[in-house]
Amino acid sequence: MSTKLLGERIKRKEDPRLIQGRAHYVDDLKLDGMLYMSFVRSVYAYARIKSIDAAAAKSLPGVLEVITGADIKDQLGLIPCAAGMEGLKIPKHYCLAVDTVRYVGEPVVAIVAKDRYTARDAVDKVEITYDPLTPVTDPESALGKDSPRVHEEFSDNLAFVAKLEAGDWKALEADSTLKIVKQRLINQRLAPASIETRGVIASYSLGEETLTVWSSTQIPHLLKTQLAILTRTDESRVRVIAPEVGGAFGSKLNVYAEEGVACYASHRLGKPVKWIEGRRENLLGTIHGRDQINDLELYVKPDGKVVGLKCNIIADLGAYHQLLTPAIPTLTALMIVGCYNIPNVWVETKGVFTNKMATDAYRGAGRPEATYIIERGMDLVARELNMDPVDVRMKNFPEPKDFPLALPTGVTYDTANYQKTLKKVLKLAHYPTLRKEQERLRKKGKYLGIGLSTYVEICAMGPSSRMPAGGWEFGMVRVEPTGKVTVYSGTSPHGQGEETSFAQITAEGLGIPFDDVTVYHGDTSVVQHGIGTFGSRTTAVGGTAVFRATERIRKKMARLAAHRLGVKPGDLEFRDGKVETSDGSKSMAFGDVVGEAYYARQLPPGVEPGLTEQYVFEPANYTFPFGAHVAVTEVDAETGEIALRNYYAVDDCGRILNPLLVDGQIHGGLAQGIGQALWEELVYDENGQVVTGSLMDYALPKAHQFPWFDTQTTETRTPVNPLGVKGVGEAGTIGSTPAIVNSVVDALQHLGVRHIDMPLKPEKIWKILKTVDGRQ
Amino acid sequence: MIPESFEYHAPQTLAEASRLIAQFGQEGKILAGGHSLLPLMKLRLASPRHLVDIGRVAELKYIREDADKIQIGALTTHYQIESSELLKQKCPLLPETAREIGDVQVRNKGTLGGSLAHADPAADWPAAILALGGEVEARSESGSRWIPAQEFFVEMLTTTLQADEILTAIRVPALPAHAGEAYVKFAQPASGFAIVGAAARVVLDDAGAVAEVGVGITGVAAKPYRAAAVEGVLRGHSPTAKRIAEAAAHAAEGVEVNADLYASAEYRTHLAAVYTRRALEKAVERAGGK
Amino acid sequence: MRIRIKLNGSWREDDVEPRLLLVYYLREVAGLTGTHIGCETTTCGACTILLNGEAVKSCTVLAVQADGAEITTIEGLASDGKLHPLQQGFWEEHGLQCGFCTPGMIMAACQLLGRNPHPTREEIRQGLEGNICRCTGYQHIVKAVEFAAQKISPQSTVES
């Protein structure tokens, strides 16, 4: 057998259980004596709670407990916010509303009953009376002096201001040869909407005084620490297990009220308590993504060189901070110059409280906004100077030799070849031919759009010095006495496929069959430490930890084998299930070397028995994957309907360990990014009511809405980690949104259309067409 | 997701079903395929005390040709209509409309009768039944009656069915010679329901002029309606592109047009005209006209 | 109410409350948790099963409505320890990531291939209109169904 595994298209280890319905998501778990929890949630965006009458609910047969904010106020801690920036206002965020509700869907009362039917019936029996207050729904007017305040303990609704300034703005503003291209861009609020909603089972054992929590989470270890603090339980007695997790996209990178209340209820009742989120609850009460207003100004030389970028960012944070709420918009500032080395940058980010659910990390988290801003901006520059969007980009790209490239935004891009991906995608799309077709069709009154996006994003999060709660990752490899190998990772996947990719890393490293490696994750009692899965860090950070731990195993095994074979450890290679000299003259079976470690009869001096090694990888930098996308759209001139005809993408995520998984991540990312551009929008009305509270209203993308994605890759390795991998989880989402909008604006550009806000609903297009060409 | 408790009744015959529904009055609801009622019950927007499941009443499942009419039992599923060879020949508008409903799973279980009785103002069937000048059969213990489609829909989620009546069948005229039909729809992207759905049947005379025309429109107003103004402009005239467009411009005439997140009243009015025109163009082309 | 259902080949009888949804019956009474719940509105298709051979969303069927019916769930698809061609296709072509929509997706695809053994890519996408996947962008799912179509009745499929 060949032990070349990295870079191969290998089927996933995860799949057999998933395709046969044998996997276990939280709701599939059933514990003895398990009780069910439901929530009564606020129907108002902003109101005082006058009274809660739970008598009827309590008297319903099968109801065991009714819990209100008053009950938990002094018993449970506050929901944590890990983001820390100067002057950040952090409101008290209880697990159940105390006195005041501040968004529709906020949990007010929890009910625990013998089964989910009774728990649901009891919800209707709880009578809450409210004194409605005037809600704050528009983040811009929320900043006005006379705006009602979301939190009365604060002087205003401004949660924080973050400024980023670099370069010589005085000189820039004095330069009259520069053109200033301005545009307001709206990045609408989205729902992550993983198909598995959230869910939790908390099980407090009164005898052992241990708390075990099964939660659909991306961060079991961080959750363990936070739940220990929240519930005031000795952390040594808390165990969190992320079972099979049915998608997350950032929305399960959090500590939620329902998790806290489930622990509280289980402790009180001494029985396991399960809560499974409904879809409406998910759309109302799981974090949202995006929601920024961006006022952009680009300072441009007549030849198309962009020399200055100014942006005012207003980020609608919602009513309370979840784990990373205030941190997300600051990532926008960090990546706002995109693939262009713009020397002068000025960004002011204002985080604003409104009476809505918190925004937080949703696939891309701050970078899709940045990419949208700069990529729409570059198209506007092209238009202003009457240049091809390709030429403007080429003009502003740094050269491959310029890397590592320190940017005025304070990050250092590792490696890139932006010219290469752009040229490749233009070839793939037959760009010149497309432009000719566009001309031809325009003469017939048909609107074909060609949209470009060249993106760079920030991945492999990240150096601990720049992360709110640590950026390292833990990996451990244990070779079992039988020669089978167990890998433990602190990352906690929800579809990414690390049971496969990490097995590839370790199997190749040890020269053993792929099938001999099993990967565990997601259980804090099984995996000693961990940060979790987010920020496209799994392979680059978690995989590197596994790679390094594997190296340590190799080192020890080489020493053991060398001792027996009478060679130097450095002379030995691991291949085909053997540890041997490169010419094969001296050789031991892999299992025999393992035996040496466990039987421990002839260990070299100073070598401990056993074969377990761990590594905690601390990345020195982020990684910066990049790519170039082309979207081809057709606009129905009569109705404004948009058809996405072609999508071409060339992505560079560094070294590719498994092309099958990379393709999957790219496709899925594209669908979500295109979803934002064309269909998705989480809408609150002026009363703070959610208009899109079901999947009959919130438009998730469906299969028939997409063309065949034509994707290719380039591989520019990063020196930041020894695997050379950058990360690919969010790239598709980040790159695709502006490509679509640029495409549709391009289709209508000859009519004088300059910009259209997302989502590009047919009605918006129709209204624009009606204005620009007098059509009725 | 969890409905309130109710008592469940599963009659085997129509007579039994009629008796039960008469007995329960306002407290009873008829369950056919369940794809209109159960979604409401899961959200507790409907909570009947008694559910009368007519799903086992075999006599309500049929598609048959009766002289120049087509009659379809209320319990016939959307998919059965979509895949019916008889209907593809004799009334192709019905399979074409069925294909546009919900998704594959919904069409497998949802029924024609259930959908019509539910009277969702954005459902697809009403447009087709109205365009065809169909009738709806209502039966109760005291007898049966045929209600013209135009009189059947009263307003959102309300029909002229009485509390003790069960919708048992629909009847439409089969496709005559020199006739064409079409259903086109602008769907709401999340739900798939019609923002505008336009159904048309056009019958041409020997000279190629429009002898008969029926246009049914759904999604636009609080109830689906027959677009009489559109028909008036076309009837008796040669269906030129210009004439069709002129006619279609009247698609939302005289109705109060809905507005929602996905289409304002103004846009919907525009879409109604465009989609009505497209339906008519297709129907005329299929009728062999130009 | 007492109901009798032939579930994945074996008859069983259970007493159920009339309001019990079929999906909860499968998951909680029969203990078959491969069928999932992803929405409340008959939209996402995660709960798709075959009821008397037809794909339906089991969240919108009462268990009592299924009295006397034959039901196939994802757990009943493989036979004699051998994966169904669709299961093979999803594995082979990486047609799933988190796997939550997958059982419903596979059951819907089962219906699709039953009615149209050699669908075009466009027909596959239309046939899966009742199933939402948030992970894959659907392309590998389309390939998975193509794989299965070939496997079930080999011939050159038409590509759209």
Give the CATH number of domain C2-76: 3.10.20.30
Least Cα distance to B271 among A766, A760, A639 occurs for: A639
pLDDT-derived band at A462 (thresholds 50, 70, 90) equals: confident
User: In chain B, which residues have their Cβ closer than 8 Å to the Cβ of C62?
Assistant: 8, 31, 34, 38, 53
Nearest CA distance, C66 vs chain B (angstrom): 10
Which residues, 6 or more positions from B85, have their beta carbon under 8 angstroms from its beta carbon? none
Strand B7-9 versus strand A100-101 pairing type: unpaired
Query: Does A398 touch chain B if contact means CB atoms closer than 8 Å?
Result: no
ipTM: 0.97
DSSP E strands in A249-340: the ranges are 273-276, 289-300, 306-318
Give the CATH number of domain A472-617: 3.30.365.10
HSE, CB side, 13 Å, CA atoms: give it for residue A121: 19
| The pLDDT value given to residue A401 | 98
Mean pLDDT of B185-197: 98
Which residues, 6 or more positions from A256, have their beta carbon under 8 angstroms from its beta carbon? A79, A198, A286, A322
Q: A19, C99: Cβ pair inside 8 Å? A: yes
Q: A117, B270: Cβ pair inside 8 Å? A: no
The whole-angstrom separation of Cα B181 and Cα B88 is 11
Nearest CA distance, A689 vs chain B (angstrom): 13
Q: What is the tens place of the pLDDT at every residue in B219-229?
A: 999 999 999 99
Least Cα distance to A119 among A265, A275, A272, A280 occurs for: A275
| The pLDDT value given to residue A84 | 85
CATH topology of domain A31-133+195-247+252-285: Aldehyde Oxidoreductase; domain 3 (3.90.1170)
Q: What is the tens place of the pLDDT at every residue in A230-256?
A: 999 999 999 999 999 999 999 999 999
Least Cα distance to A664 among C82, C131, C102 occurs for: C102
pLDDT-derived band at B289 (thresholds 50, 70, 90) equals: confident
Q: Which chains pack against C, by 3+ Cβ pairs within 8 A? A: A, B
C14's tokens = 């259970």
Nearest CA distance, B38 vs chain C (angstrom): 6
Nearest CA distance, A256 vs chain B (angstrom): 22
Nearest to C41 among A497, A660, A694 (CB): A694
The whole-angstrom separation of Cα C50 and Cα A439 is 50
Per-domain residue ranges for chain A?
31-133+195-247+252-285, 363-460+621-775, 472-617
- CB of A498 closer than 8 Å to CB of A514: no
| The pLDDT value given to residue A1 | 41
What chain B holds in terms of domains, given with CATH numbers, is 7-53 (3.30.43.10), 60-173 (3.30.465.10), 179-286 (3.30.390.50)
Q: C57, B104: Cβ pair inside 8 Å? A: no
Q: What is the tens place of the pLDDT at every residue in B124-183?
A: 999 999 999 999 999 999 999 999 999 999 999 999 999 999 999 999 999 999 999 999
Q: B44, A692: Cβ pair inside 8 Å? A: no
Query: Does C65 touch chain B if contact means CB atoms closer than 8 Å?
Result: yes
- CB of C124 closer than 8 Å to CB of C148: no
Domain A31-133+195-247+252-285 and domain A472-617, same fold? Reply is no
Q: A703, C75: Cβ pair inside 8 Å? A: no
Mean pLDDT of A725-730: 96
User: Using CB atoms within 10 A of its CB, is residue A1 exposed (0-12), middle (13-18) or buried (19+)?
Assistant: exposed
User: Using CB atoms within 10 A of its CB, is residue B254 exposed (0-12), middle (13-18) or buried (19+)?
Assistant: exposed
Strand B7-9 versus strand B50-53 pairing type: parallel
Least Cα distance to B180 among B225, B131, B136, B226 occurs for: B131
User: In chain A, which residues have their Cβ closer than 8 Å to the Cβ of C28?
Assistant: 30
The 8-class DSSP code of residue B74 comes to: T
User: In chain A, which residues have their Cβ closer than 8 Å to the Cβ of B2?
Assistant: 116-117, 120-121
pLDDT-derived band at A773 (thresholds 50, 70, 90) equals: low
Nearest CA distance, C19 vs chain B (angstrom): 6
Which residue type sits at C69? A
Q: Is the pLDDT of residue A774 over 80?
A: no
The whole-angstrom separation of Cα B130 and Cα B127 is 5
Q: What is the tens place of the pLDDT at every residue in A174-183?
A: 999 999 999 9
| The pLDDT value given to residue A469 | 87
Calculate helix-pair angle for C85-92, C139-152, nearest 10 degrees.
140
HSE, CB side, 13 Å, CA atoms: give it for residue A198: 27
Q: Which chains pack against B, by 3+ Cβ pairs within 8 A? A: A, C
CATH ID of A363-460+621-775, from 3.30.565.10, 2.60.40.3500, 3.10.180.10, 3.30.365.10: 3.30.365.10
User: Which residue in the block uniquely carries the two structure tokens 């219906």?
Assistant: C111
List helix spans (H) across A232-278.
257-269
- How are strands ordered across the β-sheet holding A289-300? A158-166, A344-353, A306-318, A289-300, A179-190
Hey, of A38, A639, A684, which one would you mutate to test binding to chain B, going by the most B CBs within 10 A of its CB?
A639
Q: C96, A18: Cβ pair inside 8 Å? A: yes
- CB of A745 closer than 8 Å to CB of A737: no
A101's tokens = 């509700």
Architecture of domain C85-156: Orthogonal Bundle (1.10)
Mean pLDDT of B55-80: 97
The whole-angstrom separation of Cα A360 and Cα A323 is 8
Query: Does A117 touch chain B if contact means CB atoms closer than 8 Å?
Result: yes
Q: Which chains pack against A, by 3+ Cβ pairs within 8 A? A: B, C
Number of Cβ pairs < 8 A linking chain B and chain C: 87
User: In chain C, which residues have their Cβ closer than 8 Å to the Cβ of A23?
Assistant: 34, 99
pLDDT-derived band at C160 (thresholds 50, 70, 90) equals: very low
The 8-class DSSP code of residue B111 comes to: B
Cis peptide before B114 (omega within 30 of 0): no
| The pLDDT value given to residue A776 | 36
- CB of A409 closer than 8 Å to CB of A335: yes
Q: What's the gap between Cα A123 and its chain centre?
A: 33
The whole-angstrom separation of Cα B248 and Cα A692 is 32
Q: Is the pLDDT of residue B21 over 80?
A: yes
Least Cα distance to A427 among A398, A457, A462, A390 occurs for: A390
User: In chain B, which residues have their Cβ closer than 8 Å to the Cβ of A759?
Assistant: none
Residue bearing the bigger pLDDT, A544 or B289: A544
The whole-angstrom separation of Cα B106 and Cα B109 is 5
Mean pLDDT of A687-699: 98
User: Which residue in the block uniquely carries the two structure tokens 């007492």?
Assistant: C2
| The pLDDT value given to residue B290 | 57
Bridge-partner residues for C72, per DSSP?
C50
B141's tokens = 């213990």
Nearest to A761 among B44, B193, B262 (CB): B262
User: In chain C, which residues have their Cβ closer than 8 Å to the Cβ of A278?
Assistant: 40
Q: A763, B4: Cβ pair inside 8 Å? A: no
Per-domain residue ranges for chain C?
2-76, 85-156
Mean pLDDT of C57-77: 98
With 0.95 as the threshold, say if the pTM is over it.
yes
User: Using CB atoms within 10 A of its CB, is residue C6 exposed (0-12), middle (13-18) or buried (19+)?
Assistant: middle
Query: Does B4 touch chain C if contact means CB atoms closer than 8 Å?
Result: yes
SS (H, E, C) A384-451: HCCCCHHHHHHHHCCCHHHCCEECCCCCEECCCCHHHHHHHHHHHHCHHHHHHHHHHHHHCCCEEEEE
Q: Is the pLDDT of residue C158 over 80?
A: no
